[in-house]
Amino acid sequence: MSRKILRIDMESESLKFEDLPEDYKYLGGRGLTSQIVADEVPPDCHPLGPNNKLVFAPGIVTGTSAPTSGRISVGAKSPLTGGIKEANAGTSFSQKLARLGIGAIVVEGKPSGAMYKCLKLDKDGVQLVNVEDLSGIGLYDAFAELRSEYGEGLGVCGAGIAAELSGANSGIAFNDTEGMPSRYAGRGGLGAVMATRGLKFILVDDEGAEGVEIEDEGVFERGRKKLTDALTEHDVTKPGGALNSYGTSVLVNIINEAGALPQKNFSRGSDDRSAKVSGEKKSEEIKKRGGERPHRCSPGCVIGCSEVWTREDGGDPVGVLEYESAWALGPNCEIYDLDTIGELNRQCNDLGMDTIEAGNTIAVAMEGGVKKFGDEDGALELMEEIRNGTPLGKILVNGTEFAGKAFGVTRIPTVKGQAIPAYDPRAIKGIGTTYATTPMGADHTAGYAIAPEIMGVGGEEDPLSPEKAELSRNLQYSTAVIDTTGHCLFTAFAVLDIPEGLEGMVEEVNGVLGTDLTVDDIPEIGKGVIETEREFNKKAGFTRQDDRLPEFMREEELPPHNDVFDVPEEELDRVFGDLG
């Protein structure tokens, strides 16, 4: 059984299955969402108008036994950046979708009414059910209600209150293994694209599903074993390794030490108090509280970087508290209390917001005098403003750049309208080169130069050197391929250092698709994905002026290195060539 596209017109409420077109046969995940968006969405449309479409796609190997491959890609024209967007999350939802034989869900049309719907999928078919009673309700409760009504084991995806407010900071939440809404395709406002189409939730039941078709089991199995071996060998990804022991927050102390952990809206690169929110400290607390660590975002992950963070008494579990979230809602707001950060993260998950964008928004609001830096209760009050849909909430839910404008702040850390993640580009210039040039807006996951610049993975690079075009380009190409296969980006640590791991990943893909790809094909495939994305952005009006970091980062020195972002414009334009 070959993969299908499920196409849903939310205006007419018509649902139909189509065969995956021949042209899309070798695509999955990001490669597929970006191609469909490029082929079907007019680049000049309003992101929340009737002509935008929302596309969900599991990766090529998602739903198989390939290790650490439970990613779902979501794509559309972004309300936050105005360009093409792919955001992905690790969740069993994706595996279930793939096992039902679904290559992509395309959600299109815009109903004139406001009655929210839930899309239900199982082996027997699909239907839309009214869920208007779940409007205005937090996602923790909504996910619990849906699972209680339709089955605890189902995959759940949903858009929250932030999306109902049409917020440019609204993500799409997916279930974690406890069924909580803590796995996020968070960036770029995709939740609002979903909600404005009248779609609030998707439920997937894969009971009795045929599973993912594998063209050559032998090749697949050989690849699976090679990649699994690499992941369990590499220091970063192995059991008991850095990610498994401390999660992504292992980076807090490392990046703070490197002078690149942004404090107080990107005004300093380190602060001794950062240690209070480190992965080591968090791991210790989780043990005391009876949370979980290590933990997996989806079945079949051999890294296990996740966790379940709880309140001090072990109650009100949040799900994972990632490095990015802990930083954005923490040091960037001069907040150094893990419980406050956990509560802020829980609010983001519950409201349906990206934590990176939300933390940056709060920091900019603090710079604009709305609250004081370090005001923990004040930050939590801002979340209530969003929940209540007040005018202040409507400012905040639209993200960092929007809030900066409302509050008269000119130090706004965004690229293409999207907030910058937890590595200050003035102290680590390869990641800054990625922020500037990825079609996605500031996004560390688009070409994770931290690996060679800080971790010594995939080579070693001086973080302060401004010659990073080639590094960023290569990483962006290979990332686009990983995002297409459905593997977690963290598999990159192993495959960058262990050639057999990379071979294994390619063999898994060959096994599933019946192709004869080699590792040498990777750059060309990645290039194809990114060119499709950049072409969309160009038609949407992007130029090389959009491939730049904010003015203040080029002019204001960041302590302790006291450096500015000095990668020359020519170097940035050399990443992909000039858009004109």
Query: Using CB under 8 A as the criterion, which residues of the chain lie in contact with its own copies when the complex forms?
Result: 43-46, 48-49, 51, 165-166, 168, 196, 390-392, 394-395, 398, 402, 405-408, 410, 412, 539-543, 545-546, 548, 550-552, 580
Q: Are strands 117-122 and 199-204 parallel, antiparallel or unpaired?
A: parallel
Q: Which is nearer to its own copies, 450 or 540 (CB)?
A: 540
Inter-CA distances, 536 with 294, 564, 579, Å: 40, 31, 11
**CA-to-CA dists, residue 350 to 107, 141, 162, 188, 356, angstroms:** 23, 8, 9, 17, 15
Q: How far is CA 278 from CA 92, 281, 293, 334, in A?
A: 28, 5, 14, 14
Q: Rounded CA gap, 165 and 193, in Å? A: 11
**In the complex, least distance from residue 164 CB atom to its own copies, rounded to whole angstroms:** 9
Residue number with CB closer to its own copies (311 or 539): 539
Give the shortest CB-267-to-its own copies separation in angstroms.
Answer: 14
Provide DSSP, 561-576. TTB-----HHHHHHHH
Cβ pair 90, 243 in contact under 8 A: no
Comparing CB distances to its own copies, the nearer of 84 and 100 is 84
Residue nearer to its own copies on the CB measure, 148 or 388 = 388
Q: Could you tell me the smallest distance in angstroms from the CB atom of residue 200 to its own copies?
A: 15
- Rounded to a whole number of angstroms, the minimum distance from the CB of residue 51 to its own copies is 7
For residues 441 and 447, give the distance between their C-alpha atoms in angstroms, rounded to a whole number.
12
- Residue corresponding to tokens 């000039």: 578
Nearer to its own copies, 40 or 233 (CB): 40
Nearest-CA neighbor of 246 among 284, 290, 300? 284
Nearest approach, Cβ of residue 168 and its own copies (Å): 7
Residue that the structure tokens 């005098």 belong to = 369
Q: What's the min distance (Å) between Cβ of 38 and its own copies? A: 16
CB of 53 to its own copies, least distance (A): 15
Q: Are 21 and 120 in contact (CB under 8 A)?
A: no
- Whole-number Å distance between alpha carbons of 473 and 541: 22
Strand ranges across the sheet with 125-130: 125-130, 117-122, 199-204, 155-158, 172-174, 183-185
Is the link from the previous residue into 294 a cis peptide, with omega within 30 of 0? yes
Smallest separation (angstroms) from its own copies to the CB of 567: 15
Q: Which is nearer to its own copies, 206 or 401 (CB)?
A: 401
At 14 the three-state DSSP class reads strand
CB of 566 vs its own copies, minimal distance in Å: 15
| Tokens found for residue 455 | 């971790």
In the complex, what is the shortest distance from the CB of residue 223 to its own copies, in angstroms, rounded to a whole number? 43
Closer of 125 and 391 to its own copies (Cβ)? 391
CA distances from residue 244 to 107, 247, 251, 280, 292 in whole angstroms, order as listed: 36, 6, 13, 12, 12
Measured in whole angstroms, the distance separating CA 410 from the mean position of its chain's CA atoms is 26
Q: Retrieve residue 300's tokens.
A: 């079949």
Q: Which is nearer to its own copies, 78 or 166 (CB)?
A: 166
Residue number, 43 or 441, with CB nearest to its own copies: 43
Min CB(554)–its own copies separation in Å: 9
**Strand blocks (E) in 14-149:** 14-19, 54-58, 71-77, 84-90, 102-108, 117-122, 125-130
Name the 3-class secondary structure at 238.
coil
Q: How far apart are CB 167 and its own copies at their closest, in Å?
A: 9
CB of residue 194 vs its own copies: minimum separation in angstroms?
14
Query: For residues 162 and 480, which CB has a smaller minimum distance to its own copies in the complex?
Result: 162
State the nearest-atom distance from the C-beta of 389 to its own copies, in Å: 10
Unique residue bearing structure tokens 């905040």: 396
DSSP codes of every residue in 463-494: TT-S--HHHHHHHHHHHHHHHHHT--TTHHHH
Q: Which residues of 492-514 are buried (b: 16+ CB within 10 A; e: fewer)?
A: bbbbbbbebbbbbbbbbbbbbbe
Cβ nearer to its own copies, comparing 546 with 563: 546
* Closer of 253 and 398 to its own copies (Cβ): 398
Read off the amino acid at residue 444: H
Phi-psi region of 562 (alpha: psi -120 to 50; beta: other; left: phi over 0): left
Q: Looking at beta carbons only, is 493 or 536 nearer to its own copies?
A: 536
**Which CB sits closer to its own copies, 512 or 572?**
572
